[in-house]
Amino acid sequence: MARAFGWFLALVLALSAFPAIGGEPNPFLPREEEEEDAPAAEPKKTEKTPGRTATQDPKFLPFTPEGQAPGNEKQDGPKPAPQAAPAPAPAAVCESCKGTGYLPFRQPGVAWIQGEPIPGGRGPAPYQPCPKCKAGLDAAGLEADGQRRMNVAVSRHAGLRQESGLNFLLGQTRHVAVHSQLDANRTRAVLAALNAFTDLVQQSTGVTTLAQTRPDTHEIVVINDQASYSKWLDYLQKQQPGSDFSLAKGSGGMVGWKLSTFRSDKGTPPENCALHQFGWMLMEEATNGKAPAWLKEGFGAYAENAITRKNLMYTFHYEKNEVQFGQNWNEDAQKFAKEQKLKPWEYIFPLDLIGMKPLDYISCYSMTSFLIQANPKAFVDMLLKIRAGTDSKTAMEAAYKRKVPELQAAWGQWIFTQR
């Protein structure tokens, strides 16, 4: 049985106003979602599936997220030529690092558990300076910044425990903090899965575009029982009394840009839950919150399958959505392809996670898997164009230099190569 994530509107406002924990600046930006296990394959409704999660609606974003590029302001129309100074040419994006300024630092991932010494040297630093556009940058500064971020996460963790009244164990990778009610061994297994995925996307793309989250700003909360989950939601509710957490209370978690939560007692391995949520968070960060729903959901499912070889999670928006899946979405996609039931990508692009059917979810997953595996560098270019404000179809065609019908035809053949 798979688990689903849902999306409830109030959470956007709730977390946008969430106060700092432990005296640190508030990293909780809006766009939160709820999640659930994904049920087995039949396009009809079945009995209620436990463990849902919810999301937030970007239209309620009350401020521009940090790092958003300027220049998207509404224009009143062209200015008269004599009065308008020529617009400067946009700065060229470094082809080596794709504009992040850094490249992956290839070394074993950090899976730090509270009580252990914080790694020294290059341990906490998840990147190295780009030799093309950051030549001469002192690596010692990166090491110090990595340690600072891990220490900030430790401080935040202490504040979270005190203010929520819940007992958590802190685990960290270079890219995310995990506040866990699992034991140390299970928490370490979750960290190892998250490390495996960040290593995979960096090795396949050769850049850090899809690995820009950090443990002092991006957090996953793992809750081990219903009572603690209710207490956690009550804690969030107190921070934003005007928000409605009713959908979250009926689900198994919430997935968002900076903060995600899931229950680990619903029968789904915590690695699957964490990977699906982490995929969402990486995609949100890579596109500055501009990725469409099909791409975020597809990348979350890709993260889960790439490491566990199963798909047990899905996300819904606004209201609970009971759907049935198999555990191997590659096989499901092949089945739909053989039956000539695959839908045009033009149908998938506007999906919003409301009332989606199994084929919709599987299509998001399979499309995303095809795009990143067929041409990882073009996939990154597509994300950069989406981050700049281009719609996903236009960004895709420009990055892959092929029209959507051509890409879809190639995808239809590629599907049968997946296992």
Instruction: Give the pair of three-digit tokens for residue 219.
Output: 């957090």
Residues 6+ apart with CB under 8 A from 282: 175, 198, 201, 210, 211, 212, 213, 299, 303
Three-class secondary structure assignment of 317-382: CCCCCCCEECCCHHHHHHHHHHCCCCCCHHHHCCCCCCCCCHHHHHHHHHHHHHHHHHCHHHHHHH
Whole-number pLDDT of residue 127: 82
Question: Are 253 and 19 in contact, with CB atoms under 8 Å apart?
Answer: no
Mean pLDDT within 129-154: 87
142-154: pLDDT as tens digits: 888 888 999 999 9
Residues 6+ apart with CB under 8 A from 412: 337, 342
CA-CA distance, 65 to 239, in Å (whole number)? 20
Top-confidence residue, 350 or 67: 350
Amino acid at 33: E
15-70: pLDDT as tens digits: 333 333 333 333 333 334 445 555 444 333 333 333 334 443 332 222 222 333 33
Whole-number pLDDT of residue 54: 45
Question: Are 157 and 168 in contact, with CB atoms under 8 Å apart?
Answer: yes
Whole-number pLDDT of residue 160: 94
Say which range, 5-14, 154-163, 296-305, 338-347, has the weakest mean pLDDT. Answer: 5-14
2-30: pLDDT as tens digits: 555 443 322 332 333 333 333 333 333 33
